[in-house]
Each structure stands twice: as structure tokens, then as C-alpha cells.
Structure 1
Amino acid sequence: MSTVATEGSTRGPAEIVLVRHGESLGNVADRAAIAAKAHRLDLPANDEMIDLSEEGQRQADALGRHLGRLPAEERPTVVISSPYQRARSTAERALAGLDLEVLLDERLRERELGIFDGVTWYGIKADHPEESDRRDRVGKFYYRPPGGESWADVVLRIRSLLVELQARYPGERVWLFSHEAVILAFRYVLEGLEVSRVLALQKEEPIANCSMTRYADRDGALELQARDDVSAIEDESAVTREPSHAEEGDQ
């Protein structure tokens, strides 16, 4: 059950749809690094500037065609994206056929990994064993890498964003383009999940690129209607997910 009340359709969005960005060059590099047990990803850009792969572009375009086929009463009325290039590009390509502005909100950005940006779990274990030990002591949800954010930090910005969405967009169909960790943070807040459950979901049910997780107002609360829905893209592009053993990040 949702923990965020909306008091019927008079308060808060009528619908929130969470879209993970299409496959990125970082996703491709991450899979290659994990396969090679490399310590770092081979990437030329910082996390903010990582763009879509060719497959990710196809996924975003397929989502756009899906949106174009929806009846007017089911299309988004408000679109907000993470400012990170892979999410912004996904939103812009998907919305190319609709007369909607893509708004940007930094609270939808990926979880910041600080000094571990671009470092694989193999690299952390080998080169920073003291941080690996500290993470084990503190616990994954509250562990904050040097210069980065904990999962709890991401949850705090999502709580802030939800309050603003409720106040600014009553009755609207709000689509948010973001990242895996952020979508899981939404699930944690909206569904009242236990910490252990939301962390298990990252490994057990990795979120597909360009998938949709949908919540709708039901009797004053936002309730989950669909999660990790890839029906919009699966007939036109590959469905891609992170390796289930990946420990950190969503490049």
C-alpha cells in the first residue's frame, strides 16, 4: 500500500510513471568491466555526461512511438527528467513527437558515488579494502562513499520531490525519467518497503532500461499499477538490464 496520501484526485498527481533511461555507454562499459573483472570502467566522460548507446537510442525511440500511439487521455501532461545526459536524452527522444517541455530536476539524478565513480566492485575490494569493511559495518543503505551519497540520501531527495509534485501538479499525469537507484528509492517511499527488501530488489529484480514503473491515484493514495514494464519497447529493441551481481552504481 502506498504511504503517500493524495486525498483523492484533488491533491497530487493522478499518475506518476517512472522511466529508467535507455541503455547508456556506461551500462555497456560496466558489463565489459565486470566480465573482465577490471577495477575501473573504460569511460571518457564523467557520470553526468554519459550518453545513450545506439541500443539505448533505439529503446528511447521505441518508447516515443508507444507514447504516440496512446490516446490523449493517457499521455503524460508533465515530464521531468534527471539532468544527467542519458536520462535527458531518453526523455527528449521519447517526447520528440509530443508538444511537451522536458523539465529538469537535480533530485532525479543518479546516486553519487564520490571517489568510486567509475570504479567496479572489484576495484573497491582490491584498492579500498577499508571502505569495503566500513560498508559492511555500516550497512549498504546508510553507507556513504567518500564524496558520495548513501541510499538514504537519495531517499531524502525523493521525499522532497514528492512533496513538491503533490503541491504543483494536482490531477496531472507526471512522467519522471531517471535512474535505477532513484526508481528503487521511489518504491521504498511509495510502497513503504523495508530496507532489506528494497536492497534485495536491486539484485533480484534489476530494472530494465527504458522500462516503466507506474503509480496511479486510488482512493487518495498512489498505488503501484505496474513495475519494470517493457511492453513499450520489447517488440522493437533489445531489453537490457544490469548484471544481477553488480554491487554499485547505474552508469
Structure 2
Amino acid sequence: MRHEEPHRNPKPETEKALRIHERLLAEYGDHPWHPRDPVATLVSTILSQNTNDVNRDRAFERLRARFPTWEAVRDAPLPELIEAIRPAGLAPTKGPRIQEALRRITDEQGRVSLDFLAEMPVEEARQWLLSLPGVGPKTAAIVLCFALGKPAFPVDTHVHRVARRLGLIPERTSREKAHELLEAIVPPQIYYPFHLNLIAHGRAVCHARAPRCDTCILRDECAYASSLPRLPAASLTLILIRHAETVANVEGRWVGWGDTGLTERGRAQVEATARRLAREVRDGAAIYTSPLPRARETAEGIGRALGLTPIPVENLREINFGDLDGVTLEEMRTRYPDLYARWRDKTDSEYTWPGGEKRADFFRRVAEACQEILSRHDRGTVIVVAHGGTVRACLAHLMPDKLGKWWEYSLDNCGITRLQIEDGTVRLLTLNDTSHLPEVKKEEL
């Protein structure tokens, strides 16, 4: 495989990539490069889109068995082609793409061959491939790297996930942008084996859900693993409670660091929650609370029933809405449409409230609060009284791969969420249990 010389003074990101590469080589082995038919690689990669390798290979084998040459594929009746590649899925879309690509190649080269790309500079060859129907950055990079031995780094789902978790590229990097960033930090001479071994690691260990971080050979290099909760080894029950109903809740206003006080109904919720926990909790170790008045009043009512004094933790505060503290959903939608549109993208960790707090900073400080609390206890029942956003952030930190999307958690005033932490693992027992509260109104935020 043709490549550039290694960097003499590599950047820190490149040094990290090289360390990871060496460990992956030891674990999964090397992968010497051998030339492949560029057209076969192109067609196979188009077939692989939105399906797995098994289905892709079945479709490719059926295609080659039915049509002996690429010219035959190009000129085949479309229904026959679609039937041949049906195992790959989306055959009515992929069939026309394959034929159109083969016709474009024929029109420009006079035959179905991509060998001419070998003589082009890599960027020129990449742009030529990208001009074909159904060819994106991954498909182009696979043809360049796998078939032609050119320095292009393909990024599929596994590579994208593992590279982001390792911190090789920023968490919110798109798959398209990841090609550019990884090509900049990974030495070209290891593109091929590094790509294949990242895929192997993604399949064997770094799963999309429930990755096996405890056995991962890259744990000390991994940004994702370092962000995971450090859990006590013994048995601990953690109860998370959102504060009781406030005036702002009734009015539908978003209140972060401000406060409007509990309603009479909210105080009744506190009493009902306190009575329930007094019956159920026999080993109360501590009760922690956000320092904001609505959470403290809720925690104090529960604490009296359990004989515990609430301990305020600054980082349990709700997110700081800044200049928009007190707005309603409708006011934000109509008065701040651009902010509203960005706020709706809950995956945008860089979203920042004007004059307030960045979403990523909020989740980071709540994770720190969780760790601070867990470090003090290894048994008994620990209660945390906070806010809707704070409880969601706690759950996202403690169970990042088990609960799904944090913004979908429904959390009512005084709803009880109970977690069992035992031998370093977390088990969800109840989520937003409101059986002790009649007619609890759902929060819209």
C-alpha cells in the first residue's frame, strides 16, 4: 500500500493514535494490504449501505452468479438486478445506483474499469468517485484504500463510534467530518490496519449499547471510559426525587436558578412522599439536596420523616437558564425561534442558554456531584432531592447505555426513581414512581 512517511514529531493526537494502533495490533493482528478490483469494491460497498456484512455478501454472491461481467450488470433488466441483490435490502434504490455508476464509468472511460484512478492524486480520485450516484465519503475512501492502496481513511459506524469514545475526534463529529479529522491525525501508513482493527474492536468490545469497558484493552486511553461512574463495590440503594410542585410548574415556566416556592399541592406531595419513604426506608444513610429552595423544602420534609438532615450539594442545582429563566415553552418558540430550534436538538451538548449554562457543563457538574455522593457511601439507602434536569443528568451518568435518550425520561414532581448499585453495577428498580401521588401532572419540559 502506497503511503507517506511517518511524522517525525507527531502531534499528541497522532501519538495517541499510534499507541492505540499498537495495542489493537497485539489484540487483533495485522492486516497486510492486497490489491482488489476497484469496480467490485465499489459495487460491494454500495450494497453494504444500511445493512450488515452477511446480507451484503449474500447479495454480492447472487449478483456475480446471475451476471458474469460488470457489463452484464450494467445492461441487465432492472427488475432482474433488483431481485439478485434483494438480500442487501433497499434493492429498488441500490440497483439503479449501481447501474448508473457503471454507465458513468463506461461513458467516461469507454469500458467498466476504475484502474485509471490509480494514476490520479488521491484528492482528485476522491472527488471523481464522489461524483458517482450513491457514493459518499465512506464508499469513496473504501475504494481508494482497499482497492487502490491510496491514503484514504474510511469511517463506518463502528469506526465513528470507537473513535469518538476514545477521544480521537470530538464527540459531536459527524461521520462525514470524521474522515477528514482522522486522516489528519492517523499516519497514512496505518490507515488500512487501523481501520480494520477499530471495526474489530467495535464488534468485539466497544458495542453501541453496553460496551464491555471493564475488559477493554484501551480503557486507560478512552475518554468515554473515564467519564463512566466510579461505583462502590458494596450494596447501595440510590433514590432520586424531583422536587415538589412549584408555582412556576403550574404556570408552565422554566425556572433554573430562580425560585417561586412550593404550592399547597406541592407541600401535600412532600408529605405523601415522606410518609411513603418512612415506611419503606429502614437503612437511610443520608439525604442530599440541591441548595435551591424548592428542592431544600422538599428534602427537609422527607428528612424529618427519616430522622436525617439534608446535606446541600452545590452541583445538584438545576441548569442555569440565564436570561431566559422564567420563560414558557410558547414564549421561547415565538420570541426566540433560533434558540428554540437549537434547544430541540437534545444531542447538541454545546447548546448554551444566553447568560446561562452550556448543556455539556451542566452534565459534567452533575456527574461530579454523583461521584462526590457515591464516594461517601458503600451501603444503605442514599436519597438525592433535586430537579428534573438534574435527575435526568444523574441517570445519564449512571446508566449511559441502558436507559436510552435522557430527554425522554418522564419525571413528575416528587416522582421516585430507585437504583440498586451492587458490585460496581447499576440496576434500575423504578423510574418516576408516583403511585403515592394522586393526579400528578406531567412536566412538559
Shorter-chain-normalised TM-score: which range? 0.7 to 0.9
* Counterpart secondary structure, 1:14: strand
CA–CA separation in structure 1 for the residues paired with 2:346 and 2:412: 29
Is the contact between residue 281 and residue 381 of structure 2 (CA under 8 Å) also seen in structure 1? no
CA–CA separation in structure 2 for the residues paired with 1:112 and 1:71: 32
Whichever structure has more strand as a proportion of its residues is 1
Q: Alpha-carbon deviation of 1:80?
A: 0.6
Match of 1:241 in 2: 442
Is residue 23 from structure 1 mapped to residue 245 from structure 2 by the alignment?
A: yes
Structure 1 167/124 Cα, relative in aligned 2: closer, same or farther at 3 Å? same
Whichever structure has more helix as a proportion of its residues is 2
Is residue 152 from structure 1 mapped to residue 340 from structure 2 by the alignment?
A: no
Match of 2:233 in 1: 8
Once the two structures are superposed, the pairs formed by residues 17-166 of structure 1 within 5 Å of their partners are 17-30=239-252, 41=253, 47-70=257-280, 72-73=282-283, 76-132=284-340, 135=343, 140-166=348-374
Is the contact between residue 332 and residue 340 of structure 2 (CA under 8 Å) also seen in structure 1? yes
Structure 1 145/61 Cα, relative in aligned 2: closer, same or farther at 3 Å? same
Mark the runs of 5 or more structure 2 residues left unpaired by the alignment.
1-209, 212-227
Is residue 168 from structure 1 mapped to residue 393 from structure 2 by the alignment?
A: no
1:111 is matched by which residue type in structure 2?
A: I
* Counterpart secondary structure, 2:418: strand
1:225 is matched by which residue type in structure 2?
A: L
Aligned length: 220
Structure 1 123/80 Cα, relative in aligned 2: closer, same or farther at 3 Å? same
2:268 is matched by which residue type in structure 1?
A: R
Structure 1 128/81 Cα, relative in aligned 2: closer, same or farther at 3 Å? same
Q: Alpha-carbon deviation of 1:122?
A: 2.5
CA–CA separation in structure 1 for the residues paired with 2:339 and 2:372: 35
Once the two structures are superposed, the pairs formed by residues 157-196 of structure 1 within 5 Å of their partners are 157-193=365-401
TM-score between the two structures when normalised by the length of structure 1: 0.77
Is the contact between residue 315 and residue 366 of structure 2 (CA under 8 Å) also seen in structure 1? yes
Structure 1 137/83 Cα, relative in aligned 2: closer, same or farther at 3 Å? closer
Query: Residue 207 of structure 1 is aligned with which of 405, 411, 426?
Result: 411
CA–CA separation in structure 2 for the residues paired with 1:59 and 1:176: 16
Is the contact between residue 24 and residue 56 of structure 1 (CA under 8 Å) also seen in structure 2? yes
CA–CA separation in structure 1 for the residues paired with 2:277 and 2:350: 37
Mark the runs of 5 or more structure 1 residues left unpaired by the alignment.
31-40, 247-251
Q: Alpha-carbon deviation of 1:133?
A: 5.2
Is the contact between residue 229 and residue 371 of structure 2 (CA under 8 Å) also seen in structure 1? no
Structure 1 135/24 Cα, relative in aligned 2: closer, same or farther at 3 Å? closer
2:231 is matched by which residue type in structure 1?
A: T
Structure 1 181/14 Cα, relative in aligned 2: closer, same or farther at 3 Å? same
CA–CA separation in structure 2 for the residues paired with 1:128 and 1:21: 28
- For residues 50-90 of structure 1, the C-alpha deviation after alignment (integer angstroms, 9 at most, x for no partner) is 211111111100111112223523xx220011111111111
CA–CA separation in structure 2 for the residues paired with 1:91 and 1:218: 25
TM-score between the two structures when normalised by the length of structure 2: 0.45
Structure 1 221/227 Cα, relative in aligned 2: closer, same or farther at 3 Å? same
- For residues 113-134 of structure 1, the C-alpha deviation after alignment (integer angstroms, 9 at most, x for no partner) is 1111111232223333443455
Structure 1 109/136 Cα, relative in aligned 2: closer, same or farther at 3 Å? closer
Is the contact between residue 50 and residue 84 of structure 1 (CA under 8 Å) also seen in structure 2? no
1:241 is matched by which residue type in structure 2?
A: K
1:230 is matched by which residue type in structure 2?
A: T
Aligned-pair RMSD on alpha carbons?
Answer: 2.8
Is the contact between residue 300 and residue 310 of structure 2 (CA under 8 Å) also seen in structure 1? yes
Q: Report 1 or 2 for greater relative contact order, CA contacts < 8 Å, sequence distance ≥ 6.
A: 1
Is the contact between residue 141 and residue 195 of structure 1 (CA under 8 Å) also seen in structure 2? no
* Counterpart secondary structure, 1:72: coil
Structure 1 213/84 Cα, relative in aligned 2: closer, same or farther at 3 Å? same
CA–CA separation in structure 2 for the residues paired with 1:186 and 1:87: 15
Structure 1 195/77 Cα, relative in aligned 2: closer, same or farther at 3 Å? closer
CA–CA separation in structure 1 for the residues paired with 2:338 and 2:379: 49
- For residues 191-222 of structure 1, the C-alpha deviation after alignment (integer angstroms, 9 at most, x for no partner) is 114997223x1xxx421110111111223223
